[in-house]
Chains A and B, each alone.
Chain A
């Protein structure tokens, strides 16, 4: 039981528990905050996998922007004063979720990923991916990168258009 593993289990527990909270709590606002917690924990997981940039990005984007947007949406759609948070499909959904989990676990455990594992695993002396990530994004994957930014632009414009109210002079 290395320290690494313990930390991982901790972070994993936080993630899972807060995710459960997201999907199980009756209070929508609580769900939003639980989401924030889950996403931050995931950032920690990223750190465990030596993906520092991603951890940073995760915190900034999800923790900052997404949560705020979600909270605004909750406020504007009055989702917080509903009598019930779930509907009739709950039992079936549970069943399906369990099924999916089982399937995935079996698939992961049974499949042969030994060839993917590096001999040393992830340790303190594993080089960070920062440099490679930067290089890759701007050389091999430059075009998808640009396209992604275009997507963001389009989404931005779309969101503005859609969210405009009637009095804004459509």
Chain B
């Protein structure tokens, strides 16, 4: 069966979801077992398909779903480098997350529902990455959004969690509208939703240029929503209201990278529209920079990680915009494991010490050494410390920006963004783990094995995956070239690499001075940046602006519409005839005088009128 077996990977968790729904309420204990068994089975499928892929190469398989008016919609899988990588990440990280959740959410009364949605999410995400046509991809896209909504709002008794879930869904919904428009535009031009067919047709020049441009811009709009690019990034920090393993899985490693995945998969078409790539690059870089700045001012540990995620997603998009989708995929891979281990570590910290605010944390390495080590590995990898996987992926990004299609200005701003990522990382690491042990952290302790084991594995991968970047054999010229099927081998630019290392060292040193040695006062530094710091702390006022738009425009229009519906449609349109009839009746009833002679008069007059009418016509 080879690569055709790939369809099993999403189907098994989907069936499990249904099973858990049926049994979970009555036999709650069975839910986690089913879910974890399913995800392990999906991973096993991945191993099988991966081996088959290495032997046989890429493959697609599709099954007819339904036919409407001459158009046939199919349910199909595409197995190629990109989808293989994504499938592996999704299934593997999901295993770790679900095992972690056993400990983290132990005793929760709705545990069975949690695992049901986890299975649903896994199935949907895998459907998304394997989809061979845009319609199926959209289905997976929407379902992961649903899973995200359900899981962010898992503790919906807390008002902020319910609000956050709603915000996430609505914000990504805005993106989804654009996405759908883009897909439909493509469909209208090419007559199909099948991705490979669309690419072939586009390369053949069948598609009109302006239509193609608009379609791709809209599609990026959808990707920007899901991948939390500016200005649709506002939902991701609030999504931290959900349980931490959810943040690790959905909002770091898998769902949020769906947007990146989409533009990478459609890159053969994006390449034809330079304006679209420019937009992607600009938005990506802007996101990377702004999110990095905000992360430096946040005080909640998970919020820092959230903004860090947004920033790194921006770097991925930047890579795509620079014309190097393979680099984006590499960073996606490195970031997935590193961020997952970071979030799980944050969960361990909050689980063990009860704190989430970094101002209440200090010297935690004394109480939680394992967590400290793994956390440092993940964080420093993303900051770009040499030899960790993040160093290589970030280096590739810088190289792509330098040598790719973008002009020199981009490189400078990218270095600034990189600098900020180092700064907030250093601040976070020093504040939380080094320094004297704060009295609030006396009770901190390491978690059980089900929690530290996944962290450890992810941290190892975060450390070691950098090796994948190199050329190991004639056939494998490095991850980036393998993923994009190109002949270009792995190479370094000493100037770029050197510059990035210098930035890392300086950044870590500066934050060391401020947060560990206290030689430079953080308060004083903040005061020096005055208004800029306020803007950053207030997250650049995005939420305030959006809220204003909602209040003044959206809600006012809604009020107007409600008024029209109530006053015109209902009171006049619907109640109107009824009320008029009743009024007519109440007036006409006076005709019924009860007097026979009145009726007789009516008869005579009626006869006269009839006679006249009949006679004159």
Interface flag for B597 (CB, 8 Å): yes
- Write the nearest CB–CB distance from A136 to chain B, whole angstroms: 30
Cross-chain contact B611 with A107 (CB below 8 angstroms): yes
Given A107-B611, A107-B615, A96–B604 Cβ distance below 8 Å?
Answer: yes
A35 to B612 Cα, complex, angstroms: 31
Report, as a range, how many residues of chain B touch the other chain.
Answer: under 10
User: At the interface, yes or no: A84 with Cβ under 8 Å from chain B?
Assistant: no
A96 to B608, Cβ gap below 8 A?
Answer: yes
| A103 and B611 contact, CB distance less than 8 A | yes
Q: How far is the CA of A89 from the CA of B601 in the complex (A)?
A: 9
Complex Cα gap A99–B608 (Å): 8
Contact A93 B601 (CB under 8 A): yes
Q: What's the Cα separation between A87 and B593 when bound, in Å?
A: 14
In the complex, chain B residues 594-617 whose Cβ is within 8 Å of any chain A Cβ: 597-598, 601, 604-605, 608, 611-612, 615
Q: What chain A residues lie within 8 Å of B597 (beta carbons)?
A: 87, 89
Bound-state CA distance A122–B140 (Å) is 104
- Docked Cα-Cα span, A132 to B153, in Å, equals 104
Give Cα A92–Cα B595 distance, bound, in whole angstroms: 15
Interface membership of A100, Cβ < 8 A: yes
In the bound assembly, the distance between CA atoms of A37 and B597 in angstroms comes to 26
CB distance from B212 to the nearest CB of A (A): 81
Chain A residues contacting B608 (CB-CB under 8 Å) are: 96, 99-100, 103
A137: min CB distance to chain B, Å = 31
With both beta carbons as reference points, the residue of chain B lying nearest to A99 in the complex is identified as B608
| B interface footprint on A90-116 (CB within 8 Å = 1, 0 otherwise) | 001100100110010001000000000
A100-B601 in contact (CB<8A):
no
A1–B611 Cα distance when bound, in Å, is 34
Q: How far is the CB of B597 from chain A (nearest CB, A)?
A: 5
Q: How far is the CA of A47 from the CA of B612 in the complex (A)?
A: 33
Least Cβ–Cβ distance between A106 and chain B, in angstroms: 9
Q: How far is the CA of A89 from the CA of B608 in the complex (A)?
A: 18
Residues of A contacting B604 in the complex (Cβ-Cβ under 8 angstroms): 96, 100
How far does the alpha carbon of A92 sit from the alpha carbon of B602 in the complex, in Å? 11
Q: A107 to chain B: which residues have CB within 8 Å?
A: 611, 615
**How many whole Å from A69's CB to the nearest CB in chain B?**
21
Chain A residues with CB under 8 Å of B605's CB are 96
On whether the beta carbons of A96 and B611 are closer than 8 Å, the reply is no
Chain B hits for A92, CB < 8 A: 601
Bound: A89/B597 CA distance, A: 8
Q: How far is the CB of B373 from chain A (nearest CB, A)?
A: 109
- Contact at B612–A103, with CB atoms within 8 Å? yes
Residue of B nearest to A107 (CB): B615
A87 proximity list for chain B (CB < 8 A): 597
Chain B neighbourhood of A89, CB < 8 A? 597-598, 601
Q: Provide the residues of chain A in CB contact with B598, threshold 8 Å.
A: 89
Inter-chain contacts of A103 with B (CB < 8 A):
608, 611-612
| Complexed CA–CA distance, A33 and B597 (Å) | 24
What 0/1 readout, one digit per residue, does chain A (139-160) give for beta carbons within 8 Å of chain B? 0000000000000000000000
**18 A-B pairs whose Cβ atoms sit less than 8 Å apart in the complex:** A87-B597, A89-B597, A89-B598, A89-B601, A92-B601, A93-B601, A96-B601, A96-B604, A96-B605, A96-B608, A99-B608, A100-B604, A100-B608, A103-B608, A103-B611, A103-B612, A107-B611, A107-B615
* 14 extra interface residue pairs, beta carbon distance < 8 Å, beyond A87-B597, A89-B597: A89-B601, A92-B601, A93-B601, A96-B601, A96-B604, A96-B605, A96-B608, A99-B608, A100-B604, A103-B608, A103-B611, A103-B612, A107-B611, A107-B615
User: Which A residues contact B (CB, under 8 angstroms)?
Assistant: 87, 89, 92-93, 96, 99-100, 103, 107
Which 4 A-B pairs give the minimum distances between C-beta atoms? A96-B604, A89-B597, A99-B608, A103-B611
